[in-house]
Amino acid sequence: MKNVMSNKVAIALYVLPSLLLVLFLIYIPIALTGYYGLMDWDGVGQMKFIGLENYKELIHDKLFWESTWHSVLLALFSVLSLVGYLIVSLVLASKIKGANVFRKIYIIPMLMSSVAIAQLWIKIFDPMNGLINSLFMMLGVEDPPLWLADPNMALYSVFVPIVWQYAGFYIIIIYAALINVPQELIEAARIDGANAFQIAYKIKVPLISGVLKVLIILAVVGSLKYFDLIYVMTGGGPGHATEVMASYMYKEAFGKFNFGYGSAVGFGLLVISMGTTWVIQKLLNTNK
């Protein structure tokens, strides 16, 4: 084995296939997107080179920044919900009765496709016949909130199913990490007189902090490029109340046939996502 690994050609041979795949499937399309961003192109006809026009326009585009703000809000929301997931996982990992059943309950949403979840929640949020508003009306509220139809509320309404959708994924990872915390440490702490809260806060959480850092990055990046559920539920509306970066890009490129500008938006999304990841990594020092 040592012999093989000292042979540069062999190393190249092992690395190349996946390198090529990554190049062709990820880096080249990214480069192309940046390149298309320099074009005035309707996606069908001739491309026209217009230099940095699209990018200049992007910087002054109020809607782009508005949708960026929505994406950032979603990221903040997702990171905050991680705290909730952590608490749930801590409870599930301590030996309570029925923990197994609960774990399964949390994982079920993970098995559903985004579109199905979107349809389900559209029905739940329905202003007249939906589950929530039916309940409100039964309780005698005359004009219950309109959830998805109310521009001030629509954004937060779509956040709810997103958090719900990913709960299982995060809980299962945190749970797995918690299970691996050495039992001796916990026992030692207990003998020293620590209560359950102290054990969780001082021992369990610090020990799984590596996993938590990765999850924070996952949640932030995932939120910034989030698209499917929002697009199906509201299409970015009403107005642009739930527009996020990815849906804005999609609308520009495929809705308005501005492939050039859409590509510029996509490239902007990439830059913002990478920048954010870098900042978070610096803050959390995961590179150590």
Among 206, 210, 255, 275, the residue binding other proteins under the rule CB under 8 A is: 255
Within 10 angstroms of residue 202's Cβ, the number of other Cβ atoms is: 12
CA distances from 158 to 64, 77, 215 (A): 19, 11, 21
SS3 of residue 47 by DSSP: coil
Q: Give the position of tokens 């782009």.
A: 64
Minimal distance, residue 277 CB to other proteins, in Å: 28
Give the CA dihedral 245, 248, 250, 254, nearest 10 degrees.
-160
* DSSP string of 231-280, one letter each residue: HHHTTT-STTTT--HHHHHHIIIIIS--HHHHHHHHHHHHHHHHHHHHHH
Stretch that binds other proteins, among 77-85, 119-127, 206-214, 273-281 (CB under 8 A): 119-127
Nearest distance from C-beta of residue 255 to other proteins, angstroms: 4
Query: Any bridge partners for residue 48, and if so which?
Result: 40
Binding of other proteins by 149 (CB under 8 A): yes
Shortest distance in whole angstroms from residue 159 CB to other proteins:
15
Using CA atoms in the order 172, 89, 227, 74, what is the torsion angle rounded to 10 degrees?
A: -160
What region, left, alpha or beta, does residue 126 occupy, with left being phi > 0 and alpha being psi -120 to 50 degrees? beta
Of the candidates 256, 274, 275, 282, which one interacts with other proteins according to CB under 8 A?
Answer: 256
239 binds other proteins (CB under 8 A): yes
Q: Does 191 bind other proteins (CB under 8 A)?
A: no
Taking contact as CB under 8 A, which single stretch among the options 18-26, 160-168, 180-188, 206-214 is the one that binds other proteins? 18-26
Please state, in angstroms and rounded to a whole number, the distance separating the CA atoms of residues 70 and 92: 32
Pick the closer one to other proteins by CB: 48 or 190: 48
- # residues near other proteins by CB under 8 A: 41
Find the shortest distance in angstroms from Cβ 264 to other proteins: 15
Asked if 119 is part of the footprint of other proteins (rule: CB under 8 A), the reply reads: no
Joined tokens for residue 187: 């026992």
Decide whether 42 or 281 has the Cβ nearer to other proteins. 42
Q: Closer to other proteins at the Cβ: 21 or 274?
A: 21
By the rule CB under 8 A, 101 interacts with other proteins:
no
* Residue 152 exposure: Cα atoms within 13 Å on the Cβ side: 1
Which has the closest alpha carbon to 71: 275, 259, 258, 269? 269
Neighbours of 106 (CB within 10 A): 20
Q: Residue 156, interface with other proteins (CB under 8 A)?
A: no
Residue from 110, 126, 156, 214 that binds other proteins (CB under 8 A)?
126
CB of 142 to other proteins, least distance (A): 11
- One symbol per residue from 22 to 51: x for binding other proteins (CB under 8 A), - otherwise; what is it? --x-----------------xxxx------
Find the binder of other proteins among 237, 272, 277, 284 (CB under 8 A): 237
The verdict on 251 binding other proteins (CB under 8 A) reads yes
Residues forming the site for other proteins (CB under 8 A)? 7, 9-10, 12-13, 16-17, 20-21, 24, 42-45, 122, 125-128, 146-151, 154, 234-241, 251, 254-259
